[in-house]
Amino acid sequence: MEVTWQRHKIKILDHGSMVEPYLQISTKGLDTNAQNLHQNFITNLPHLSEVRGDHMELVSKISSDIGASKMKIRDLLSTDDMLNEFNGEINEKGICLPIKIRSADDIIIQSRMENEKQIVQIISSNINGGIFRSFAMPDDCQINSVTSENGILEILFL
């Protein structure tokens, strides 16, 4: 039986996270270093979002294949264990995790149904040296949408 994962699109709501114009001229003058200039150059290239997307898709596919094997031998985290690990919170609207992302390509949230319970995977190669966590949603809860605003990732319930 093949495991089918549904990827959830992440809506970025941060108003202050607008991408700077392409090849913006630095106003720092000599008060900078090569590392900062390189980081600004890499961050501001519009075409890199496509490369990041392709990279995350590849990571997701590989992670899903590996994850399916690991899930057979590893227990899922409970919602409470996942919240404790990420210092998150839960309420009637959803789950709030303090995870700061720059773009929707920084993290993958995907889910699948197993024994009438939604299993969720959080995958990122960029955050904390890489994240691969699986947890079971609370009873009678399913993902409606995923948003990010001001460093908080919200997994909203139906």
Question: Is pLDDT of 123 > 60?
Answer: yes
Q: Which domain holds residue 118?
A: 6-13+31-157
Beta bridge pairs of residue 113: 118
pLDDT of 91 reads 93
Question: Is pLDDT of 69 > 80?
Answer: no
Residue 69 lies in a domain: yes
pLDDT of 77 reads 86
Give 136-141's long-range contacts (Cβ < 8 A, gap of 24+).
136/76, 136/77, 136/78, 136/79, 137/79, 137/111, 138/79, 138/90
Residue 23 lies in a domain: no
Measure CA 72 to chain center. Answer: 23
Mean pLDDT confidence for 144-149: 93
The overall pTM is greater than 0.75: no
d(CA 102, CA 148): 9
Residue 148 lies in a domain: yes
The most distant pair of C-alpha atoms in the chain lies apart, rounded to whole Å, by 60
Question: Best-predicted range by mean pLDDT among 37-51, 68-82, 142-156?
Answer: 142-156
Tell me the chain's radius of gyration from C-alpha atoms. Answer: 18
Domain count, the chain: 1
C-alpha separations of 3 from 66, 82, 117, 133 in Å: 12, 22, 14, 16
| Short-list 123, 119, 125, 127, CA closest to 143 | 119
Residue 18 lies in a domain: no
Residue 49 lies in a domain: yes
Query: 55 and 106 in contact (C-beta within 8 Å)?
Result: no
Residue 134 lies in a domain: yes
Residue 22 lies in a domain: no
The phi and psi torsions of 84 (rounded to 5 degrees) equal: -65, -40
Question: Best-predicted range by mean pLDDT among 7-11, 16-20, 29-33, 129-133?
Answer: 7-11
Render pLDDT for 32-49 as a digit per residue (tens, 0 to 9): 777 777 777 777 666 667
Question: Is pLDDT of 17 > 50?
Answer: no
pLDDT of 20 reads 43
Residue 24 lies in a domain: no
Beta bridge pairs of residue 121: 110, 134
d(CA 152, CA 88): 9
Q: 66-80, 89-103, 112-126: lowest mean pLDDT where?
A: 66-80
Render pLDDT for 84-113 as a digit per residue (tens, 0 to 9): 988 999 999 999 999 888 888 888 999 999
